[in-house]
């Protein structure tokens, strides 16, 4: 791996979030980091490179690689030349597998931004064993899906006693807008409930369960949580699945571990309105013309202004109980869908490339693959992980 041509190759830098990721790396990659941009259109890649050179003049000669998901040879070439491949090219269910397959075969570490459960499960079934054999670490969901939740749970568990049953709930708040790519991925997932259920079943048949331990996800119906002070609405996202997989992989989560994941709102009408909105979008996603119309309302590759992003925030509060102890923690940052997602993705790649991480291979989570190293990186980069109360 150390003899490969590039430490990092970013696939998708001509998109909105990919461009933000490229700019973050231009500012924060360590001296001597060998990078490249990959994509179908060399002219567009060159324009991104020119913009990056304004940030860091040393990037004027940044390598540009041809990469196209419909061209397996180009995917294999990218994977063979990189230590870590970063991709922002989604929806991943449509465009993601060729690079996962190439990285699993070549022993190349891989990070993406997917929040698509069906894609993640299909990639486990198809490529986990190949990645284990080659030594590749395939790490999905390295943006707002699901780093704050996965590492927030990891951080909270580490405040509680070891070797005891642990119950944990996470509560998400944000004022941010979502990206076109995220919306397209969500609509795709909503339109495929049968396929998503089948992919999850296929994975369960293959994935070993932790020996002598029990991990599970639980969620109550919408309710008011007196301790948290919010109305809580279950969130049907990939995040609780990722937390559960980290808990299954890491004994620190205790002999019995449960996690519940919610959106937190101050007032009941907001909770009711949110549920109604999700229900309406889910229904519309089942009808192809309506699904296409909805996607056209939030185009992929575009995002809010810098000013709008600067006013956005996210907060994930956790309440954990175990061994007679109770802890409240918080993960907090700025704009989750764009700026902080680009930061999380870039730092995940840098951690895989340069940190002394635990030995892992195959499809792994951020907590499992990088854990404290990535958490420390994100704190240094401006995210907050804090204990609010401990009793």
Is 328 found in the same domain as 189? yes
Asked if 216 and 124 count as a contact pair (C-beta separation under 8 A), the reply is no
**Would you say residue 243 lies in a domain?**
yes
279 within a domain of the structure (yes/no): yes
Residues 6+ apart with CB under 8 A from 188: 91, 93, 94, 116
The pLDDT, as a whole number, for residue 309 is 76
Angle of CA points 177, 178, 179, to nearest 5°: 125
**Residue 186 and residue 163 in one domain:** yes
Q: Are residues 329 and 260 in the same domain?
A: yes
pLDDT at residue 8 in the model: 98
Is 35 within a domain? yes
Question: Is 272 contained in some domain?
Answer: yes
What is the pLDDT, as a whole number, of residue 272? 57
Among 389, 173, 183, residue whose Cα is nearest residue 300: 183
Point out the residues of the chain with pLDDT beneath 70: 1-2, 176-186, 268-285, 287, 290-291, 294-305
Same domain, 360 and 219: no
Statement to judge: residues 166 and 290 lie in one domain: yes
pLDDT of residue 338: 82
Question: Is 157 found in the same domain as 114?
Answer: no
DSSP helix/strand/coil, 294: helix
Question: What pLDDT score was predicted for residue 193?
Answer: 85
Per-residue pLDDT, 183: 66
Q: What is the pLDDT of residues 38-91, one digit of tens each?
A: 999 999 999 999 999 999 999 999 999 999 999 999 999 999 999 999 999 988
Indicate which CATH number applies to the domain containing 82: 3.40.50.720
Residues 301 and 203 placed together within one structural domain of the fold: yes
What pLDDT score does 75 carry?
98
Query: What's this model's pTM, rounded to 2 decimal places?
Result: 0.92
- What pLDDT score does 285 carry? 64
The 10s digit of each residue's pLDDT in 173-218 is: 988 666 666 666 667 777 788 899 999 999 999 999 999 999 999 9
In a shared domain, residues 250 and 302: yes
Q: Give the C-alpha separation, 135 to 129, whole Å.
A: 10
Task: Judge residue 386's burial from the number of C-beta atoms within 10 Å of its C-beta, 0-12 exposed, 13-18 middle, 19 or more buried.
Answer: exposed
DSSP H helices in the chain: 16-28, 42-55, 72-81, 92-95, 97-106, 117-134, 147-157, 180-190, 193-206, 239-249, 268-285, 288-297, 306-310, 339-354, 366-369, 371-380
pLDDT for residue 184: 67
Kindly state the tokens that stand for 354.
């340069």
Structure tokens at 101: 């397959």
d(CA 127, CA 21): 26
pLDDT at residue 300, as a whole number: 62
Give every CB contact of residue 282 below 8 A, 6+ residues apart in sequence: 190
- Residue 95 belongs to a domain: yes
Q: Are residues 223 and 319 in the same domain?
A: yes
Looking at the structure, do residues 329 and 180 belong to the same domain, yes or no? yes
- Do 165 and 251 belong together in one domain? yes
Domain presence at residue 362 = yes
**What pLDDT is attached to residue 180?**
62
**What pLDDT does 7 receive?**
98
Please count the helices (runs of H) and the strands (runs of E) in the chain. 16, 15
Q: What is the pLDDT of residue 278?
A: 58
* Residue 378 within any structural domain of the chain: no
Q: How far from 63 is each of 4, 33, 49, CA to CA, in Å?
A: 14, 12, 9
Domain count, the chain: 2
Q: Are 253 and 162 in contact (CB under 8 A)?
A: no
pLDDT of residue 63: 98
Q: Residue 367 sits in which domain range?
A: 6-143+341-373
Instruction: Return the pLDDT at 270.
Output: 62
Structure token pair of residue 269: 């009408």
Q: Are 158 and 46 members of one domain?
A: no
């Amino acid at each position: 791996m150390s003899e490969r041509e590039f430490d990092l190759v970013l696939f998708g830098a001509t998109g909105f979030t990919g461009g933000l990721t490229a700019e973050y790396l231009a500012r924060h990659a360590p001296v001597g980091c060998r990078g490249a941009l990959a994509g179908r259109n060399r002219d567009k890649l060159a324009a991104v490179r020119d913009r990056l050179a304004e940030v860091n003049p040393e990037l004027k000669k940044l390598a540009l690689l041809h990469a196209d998901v419909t061209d397996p040879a180009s995917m294999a070439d990218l994977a063979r030349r990189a230590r870590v491949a970063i991709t922002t090219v989604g929806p991943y269910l449509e465009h993601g597998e060729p690079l996962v397959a190439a990285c699993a075969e070549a022993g190349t570490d891989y990070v993406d931004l997917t929040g698509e459960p069906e894609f993640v499960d299909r990639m486990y079934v198809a490529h986990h064993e190949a990645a284990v054999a080659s030594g590749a670490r395939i790490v999905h969901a390295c943006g707002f899906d699901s780093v704050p939740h996965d590492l927030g749970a990891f951080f909270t568990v580490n405040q509680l006693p070891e070797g005891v049953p642990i119950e944990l709930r996470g509560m998400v708040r944000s004022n941010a807008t979502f990206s076109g790519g995220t919306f397209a991925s969500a609509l795709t997932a909503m339109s495929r409930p049968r396929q998503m259920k089948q992919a999850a079943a296929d994975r369960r048949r293959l994935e070993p369960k932790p020996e002598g331990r029990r991990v599970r996800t639980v969620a109550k119906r919408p309710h008011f949580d007196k301790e948290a002070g919010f109305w809580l609405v279950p969130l049907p996202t990939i995040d609780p699945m990722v937390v559960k997989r980290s808990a299954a992989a890491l004994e620190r989560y205790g002999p019995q571990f449960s996690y519940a994941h919610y959106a937190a709102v101050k007032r009941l009408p907001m909770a009711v309105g949110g549920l109604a909105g999700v229900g309406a979008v889910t229904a519309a996603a089942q009808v192809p013309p309506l699904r296409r119309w909805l996607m056209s309302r939030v185009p992929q590759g575009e995002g809010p202004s810098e000013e709008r992003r600067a006013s956005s925030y996210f907060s994930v509060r956790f309440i954990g109980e175990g061994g007679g102890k109770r802890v409240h923690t918080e993960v907090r940052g700025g704009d989750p869908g764009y700026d902080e997602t680009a930061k999380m993705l870039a730092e995940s790649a840098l951690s895989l490339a340069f940190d002394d991480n635990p030995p892992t291979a195959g499809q792994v989570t951020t907590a499992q693959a990088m854990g404290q190293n990535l958490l420390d990186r994100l704190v240094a980069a401006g995210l907050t992980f804090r204990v609010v109360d401990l009793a």
